[in-house]
Amino acid sequence: MKEYLQKFVLAEEVKNTLANCKNVIFPKSRDELISLAFGNDDNNVSFDVEYDVKGIGKVLEANVTRCKNGAAVNYMEDYMRRRDPNCLVIGDDLPTDKPRFKDLYNKDFGPLRDETLEWLKDQDLIAMAFMAGGYEYGYDALLIAPANAGFFAAGLADLQGFVGIDDVKEGFNPKAIVYLAPPFRHTHFNGKQVVVHNRTEEVHEVFSYNLYPGPSAKKGIYGVLLNIGERENWVTAHASTVKVITPYDNEIIIMHEGASGGGKSEMIEQAHKEMDGRIKLAENVVTGEKFYIELTESCELRPVTDDMALCHPKMQNESKKLVVQDAENGWFLRLDHITQYGESPAYEKIFTHPKEPLIFMNIQGVPNSTCLVWEHTLDSDGTPCPNPRVILPRRLVKDIVQESVEVDVRSFGVRTPPCTRENPTYGILGMFQILPPALAWLWRLVAPRGHNNPSIVSTAGMTSEGVGSYWPFATGKMVKQANLLLDQIVNSPNTRYVLIPNQHIGAYKVSFNPQWIAREYIARRGSAKFKPEHLVEARCTILGYALDSLKVDGQYIRSSFLHPEKQSKVGTDGYDAGAKILLDFFKSEASKFNTEELHPLGKQIIECLLNDAPLQSYLDLIPMRY
């Protein structure tokens, strides 16, 4: 153990914790991590993850079942089967706009930090090295966890860049350390999930006081990357990215951003088709009228990122386009949309017959049988858990792009409700809108969460996900992030911007078809450039431009899908009422950023918004390269 410990550059108190614990395992391989998930006993078909909790006794947190295709992890409490959106707390005194530990609990975090390290000393531990942000541009990091939480370590290893102890080089200097202490949620936080971020100049500590990896191994590391980027002036975007190859071998890179439910995962999926091969483009929510389109041959898709896109300065080049690479080594995929066999054949094949065992969560598991991803664990009320998950290593995804890519088009997705003149809403976006760069920044500033989001328990009307749509995971200052996003846009003038709704266009239900049609159209044109003569100013200024017409695979898309005000159930009166809702929301949210710390150019853009300036004013601030 001593020779392994000497490889790491660690503070004395951290070294002391590892040197004086009952026992510490430094994993050498993924196979070892899978074995640890079952209590380091390859004969175990079922393993209970439980802890002695002071004042309560033994508490069973989760069960791990050995299946033919991996480990099925199930938590005892419904509450532990999904991420608590309010779990992030700041334990330090560095600048932040997030809740501080001492403000919430009326005491400093330091004593609890010491108590956590003392508790870890009394445990058998796993100490696992990994690279936060990937192997090429990532940062040295370390997990310190109880040995019986092997599934957590295996999941984090798949999500991040696992480094076996034999491959750890002398001088491995963690810039992030994740400490896992599940019993503390009972003894200190009334059973609630709490993840405390304690940032210092040397290391970003993440204290995970719960066993569900979403807030720590996934979004906690996202917070680490955002914090490092905030210091070094770069961003990890909340985005999926895909290389689209047309039947004629044209290639284009599209990066799709947006709040949860904004269509990130869908952008790297093929369009969903009816049994006869047609795509049901739209259905009128009032009349039931349906419209279909046929694509004789769809574009080939090669995924690049699923949720986190690293925009590291070392990757940027002379192309004047944004350059990105996946910030993750594996994807934390939600499976609630797969409710029966055959709904996602490509992924189901991987999940059912993986080349190596996977980590499943909230999926029913029977010992030594195949874990089926459409058999979701039932919550206590008898309904399927809404958050079934699998951690899918990128190396198992067919045709995945490993290297960094230059982004031709950045799209932003918004869940939109139906809009009619009788019930006007912000569902006035056309099939896709073309945005000048200044407006593209405004949409990322406001980041609407949108309509009927499956990831959110309840929302009152239109709400904001926060700057970049990644704000729920950030630990610093929102205005700093706004400035970074603006710099990114200004420095990438050859990347172009579109805005895409999903769910509804005016009175029509459209699901995610707009982004699938937009993807096919943009790729088939062979260029992300839009000629000025083909653009029409939207009635609502912050929607930029619409196309005068749109033809895909020889078929024209109806003009009323490009210009919702032309729909008989919407009209200009319904559209304008919806536009007012949208503009009022934008003005309210954007005003929060209008402080002294905001970039002067950002101030000018917000002033344009507040003064109802014409579209040309935004173009004057940041020209749009057609």
| Alpha carbons within 13 A on the beta-carbon side of 248 | 7
Coil, helix or strand at residue 606: helix
Q: What pLDDT, on a 0 to 100 scale, did the predictor assign at position 456?
A: 38
Q: Could you give the CA distance from residue 30 to residue 8 in angstroms, rounded to a whole number?
A: 20
Task: Identify the structural domains of the chain with CATH numbers, from first to last.
Answer: 2-42+85-232 (3.40.449.10), 408-621 (3.90.228.20)
In whole angstroms, what is the distance from residue 247 CA to residue 429 CA? Answer: 29
The share of the chain scoring above pLDDT 70, in percent, equals 97
> For position 178, what pLDDT does the model report?
98
Measured distance CA(180)–CA(149) in Å, rounded = 9
Task: State whether the Cα torsion 336-341-342-344 is positive or negative.
Answer: positive
Weakly modelled stretches of the chain, pLDDT under 70: 451-461, 527-528, 626
Which two tokens mark 379? 């919550």
Reported pTM: 0.95
pLDDT (tens digit per residue) in 221-265: 999 999 999 999 999 999 999 999 998 888 999 999 998 788 998
Which tokens hold the place of 459?
A: 């929302």
Token pair recorded at residue 48 = 């209970």
DSSP assignment of 178-247 equals: EEE-TTHHHHHSTT---EEEEE-SS-EEEEE-SS-SIIIIIHHHHHHHHHHHHHHT-EEEEEEEEEEE-T
- pLDDT (0 to 100) of residue 528: 63
Structure-block tokens of residue 126: 């796993």
Instruction: Specify the pairing of strand 433-435 against strand 409-415.
Output: unpaired
Q: Tell me what pLDDT residue 452 has.
A: 59
CA-to-CA dists, residue 575 to 420, 485, 579, angstroms: 8, 30, 6
Nearest partner of 26 among 10, 12, 13, judged by Cα: 10
> Alpha-carbon distance 208 to 215, whole Å?
8
pLDDT of residue 461: 66
Q: How far is the C-alpha of 613 from the C-alpha of 397, rounded, in Å? A: 46
Neighbours of 566 (CB within 10 A): 16
In three-state secondary structure terms, 482 is: helix
C-alpha separations of 251 from 193, 309, 356, 526, 527 in Å: 44, 19, 32, 7, 9
